Structure 1
Amino acid sequence: MKFLFAGTSRENGGAEAHFVTLTQALAKAGHTVEAVVHPGAPMAQALSGTPVHLHPGRFRNIFDLRGYRATIAAARQLKPDWLVGDFGKEYWPLILTGRLLGIPVALFRHRLKPMNRVSARLVARCAQRFFAVSQYARRDYVEHGMPAGRVQVLYNPVDMEQCRPDAAQRAELLKKLGLDESAVVLGCFGRLHAGKGIFTLLDAANAAMMQEPRLHCLWLGDGIDTQRLRDSIAASPFPERHHQLGWVADVAPYYNALSLLAFPSIAPEAFGRTSVEAQACDVPVLCSDASGIPETLQPGVTGLLLPPGDTAAWRDGILELCNDAKRRTMAAASREFVLQRFSTPVIAAEFVRQLVAGPG
């Protein structure tokens, strides 16, 4: 098949990671893939030098004629079988371009925030395919007015070559952090704001540190509560055992420094990419038992589900996975779980299958 993706976001979040990973997965599977991307944006940089051919373009909003010109020109040149979009500001432009050129459109949604009433009712009807990234997200969209028969589910793909265990990299990162191999490193990667449950995790980790002297925390990310977290760590009983590195564009290598990863969100999440990426690196996970997060692990096998916002439960969960034997048993099962359920070949094949089979 031939695919033209359009995504002119200049951010570097989960939806952007999905765009980059899925386009490359389809290209590796032998499909012809091109993409309209904002020049110089993180997605353009990530796809530079890959088999995905890039066209410069940008949509400030659905009325931006420059974006239409770039997308229509690329579509007329490629003559794709499908137009594909990941971002709300490209939904209607792709639908209109598809209608103009007679090309079917597939759209993904990664957020739980409701669209306006008109878009919620019409986008999934006007696009030939509309994908949620979890069963939970699908239910949320349907509750907010989307037609149930038009919303399909396709999980986020994970590049198993990029996310893989690497003993040498682990040793290098531990040395950089000033830790030895005996350290138990708990990671929390992503946006730093209270809705992500970071302060519950901080309190739980400090409580666990009182019982487990090997325990350290590695914080990667940035957000509106970065300074509040920094101040809370400084005032905590164990500030020297928390390592806050800020925003890192490529977090994949850092999973190898971890013994376990926490995804403690108290706000609803459509999915949980860092949970899956960590497991791909043989890292078991502690995850909030809420929204789309439970779909990212095999509870009791590759990680634990814990009640969001419950400091005592998170302390106990952390201590449970500080047990070397239990943690290593879960680590041994984690990568195979991701390989079977979320790896790029699996998701690319399932995407094509659903395009051919249709909704329902």
Structure 2
Amino acid sequence: MRLTQINLQPHFGGGEVYTAFLSRAFDRLGIATTLYAHPDAAFWHTLDLPTSLRIETVPDAKALVAALPRAPLWLLSHGPQFGELLAARDARWLITAMAHMPLQGRNPRSFDDHDMVFPVSEWVRSGLIAVGAPSWHSALYGLAALDPQRNNATATIVRTSRYDWDRRKFRDRLLGTLNPLVQPFIPPRPFTRRPGLTLGIVSRLTPIKQFPQLFDRLAPVLARFPSVNLEIFGSGGYASVRDLDAALKPIADRTRFWGQQRDVRAVYAQLDYLLTGLPEKEALGLNVIEAQACDLPVLAVKAPPFTETVCDGVTGYFYRDPREDGGEDFAHLIERLLTQDIRLHPATARDHLERFSFDAFVDRLRPIVAWAENRLAS
């Protein structure tokens, strides 16, 4: 059996990291994969992919449907399958999808006409069940997919652009053309840690993270603690960065943007705590899993999916949603972190981290492979 994965995202993010380690897990189980990818997604060739994986490029859903053979196929998309594919489905196709986003607040019919959907967390699974989507009986979760070729926690971190231009928007296309012309005149800025408590964001700056909404509440709180610094590692579209900048004005003098970094081990080593975004639009949070594997504790709102990936008081600390209390519980937490010696070491929580190991991920994948083989054989 050869698996056909579909991921036509032109930009690199968590779903693409997931596609890569999922392909390695399938390879461990003896399943070769053909990946249909976007022609502009050159990053696939820089990732740790198995030799059994074959990459085919198609620009859109129409071209994808034309490229697929009319034969027994296990199709696995990252996100809902394209409507064009569902309309042209062959009776011999097994149509499945990874659910990388919670359905809560989204189109409840996204996964209609799928044979099965595999949720990345129980939070995502609960949303699928609520709308009657064909959800797998347990969450697949994920793993700390740290690049083995970038394993130097003391590597130099140099600032890159905070922008990840959305080429579908005229403004972003224009600014994205001008920005590279300016970048050569901006002197390289290596990271140096500042005195005090260092909180960090290590994430793409996308709307689902809700960082502007988070800091509308938390920035005024952090302004009360002059020894707390914020370092942001990641990039986003113009509007996302603009809105985040505006929310951070109360602590602008203690906030620095470093752009997207490939060597995240080096980033995590420079932080005291990873700070997540708001929870309800988040599906899993691979950065949360990575940080804990790198012995970096996490500060998160006490809500799913973070309650599935963080052990309170062991691998991180929870605080009340600041939209409920204006950030006062977060303020109490920051005060504790500054006045008490309560540094955590998540890497010692072996049983917790084992849930997010490659071997555990492969074990969760085994019954899915058996199910797909039986369905295709029937």
Given the two structures, how large is their TM-score scaled by the length of structure 1? 0.77
Q: In the alignment, which residue of structure 1 is the partner of 2:363?
A: 349
Q: In the alignment, which residue of structure 1 is the partner of 2:75?
A: 83
Residues 332/201 of structure 1: CA separation in 2 closer, same or farther (3 Å cut): farther
Among residues 99, 108, 122, which one is paired with 2:113 in the alignment?
Answer: 122
Q: In the alignment, which residue of structure 2 is the partner of 1:70?
A: 67
Q: What is the rounded CA distance, in whole Å, between the counterparts of 1:184 and 1:337 in structure 2?
A: 28
Query: Does the CA contact (< 8 Å) of 2:283 and 2:305 recur in 1?
Result: yes
Among residues 137, 140, 143, which one is paired with 1:154 in the alignment?
Answer: 140
Residue type matched to 1:155 in 2?
Y
Q: What is the rounded CA distance, in whole Å, between the counterparts of 1:57 and 1:222 in structure 2?
A: 25
Residue type matched to 1:108 in 2?
M
Q: In the alignment, which residue of structure 1 is the partner of 2:330?
A: 314
**Does structure 1 residue 263 correspond to structure 2 residue 285?**
no
Q: What is the rounded CA distance, in whole Å, between the counterparts of 1:3 and 1:287 in structure 2?
A: 36
Query: Does the CA contact (< 8 Å) of 2:211 and 2:244 recur in 1?
Result: no
Q: What is the rounded CA distance, in whole Å, between the counterparts of 1:103 and 1:111 in structure 2?
A: 24
Residues 173/318 of structure 1: CA separation in 2 closer, same or farther (3 Å cut): farther
**Does structure 1 residue 110 correspond to structure 2 residue 123?**
no
Per-residue deviation, 1:194:
8.8
**For this pair of structures, how many residues does the alignment match?**
336
**Does structure 1 residue 142 correspond to structure 2 residue 155?**
no
Query: Does the CA contact (< 8 Å) of 1:25 and 1:348 recur in 2?
Result: yes
Q: In the alignment, which residue of structure 2 is the partner of 1:229?
A: 244
Q: Deviations over 1:69-112 (max 9, x none)?
A: 33328xx7xx87x4322132447737965x45x45444211122
Q: In the alignment, which residue of structure 1 is the partner of 2:33?
A: 33
Q: In the alignment, which residue of structure 1 is the partner of 2:346?
A: 331
2:15 aligned counterpart, secondary structure: helix
**Does structure 1 residue 299 correspond to structure 2 residue 299?**
no
**Does structure 1 residue 45 correspond to structure 2 residue 45?**
yes
Structure 1 unaligned segments of length 5 or more: list them: none
Q: What is the rounded CA distance, in whole Å, between the counterparts of 1:206 and 1:162 in structure 2?
A: 39
Residue type matched to 2:133 in 1?
M
Indicate the larger mover: 241-250 or 288-297. 241-250
Q: What is the rounded CA distance, in whole Å, between the counterparts of 2:295 and 2:158 in structure 1?
A: 16
Per-residue deviation, 1:248:
4.6
Residue type matched to 2:20 in 1?
V
What do you get for the CA RMSD once the two structures are aligned? Answer: 3.7
Structure 2 unaligned segments of length 5 or more: list them: 160-188
Q: In the alignment, which residue of structure 2 is the partner of 1:93?
A: 85
Residues 163/343 of structure 1: CA separation in 2 closer, same or farther (3 Å cut): farther
Q: What is the rounded CA distance, in whole Å, between the counterparts of 1:40 and 1:338 in structure 2?
A: 38
Per-residue deviation, 1:11:
2.8
Residues 70/191 of structure 1: CA separation in 2 closer, same or farther (3 Å cut): same
Query: Does the CA contact (< 8 Å) of 2:21 and 2:49 recur in 1?
Result: no
**Does structure 1 residue 20 correspond to structure 2 residue 35?**
no
Given the two structures, how large is their TM-score scaled by the length of structure 2? 0.74
Query: Does the CA contact (< 8 Å) of 2:125 and 2:139 recur in 1?
Result: yes
Query: Does the CA contact (< 8 Å) of 2:5 and 2:75 recur in 1?
Result: yes
1:72 aligned counterpart, secondary structure: coil
Q: What is the rounded CA distance, in whole Å, between the counterparts of 2:83 and 2:19 in structure 1?
A: 14
Indicate the larger mover: 46-55 or 260-269. 46-55
Query: Does the CA contact (< 8 Å) of 2:221 and 2:331 recur in 1?
Result: yes
Residues 333/68 of structure 1: CA separation in 2 closer, same or farther (3 Å cut): same
Q: What is the rounded CA distance, in whole Å, between the counterparts of 1:70 and 1:52 in structure 2?
A: 20
Q: What is the rounded CA distance, in whole Å, between the counterparts of 2:137 and 2:88 in structure 1?
A: 19
Q: What is the rounded CA distance, in whole Å, between the counterparts of 1:51 and 1:338 in structure 2?
A: 31
Per-residue deviation, 1:4:
2.7
Per-residue deviation, 1:283:
0.8
Indicate the larger mover: 222-231 or 272-281. 222-231
Q: Which has the higher helix share?
A: 1
Query: Does the CA contact (< 8 Å) of 1:6 and 1:83 recur in 2?
Result: yes
1:6 aligned counterpart, secondary structure: strand
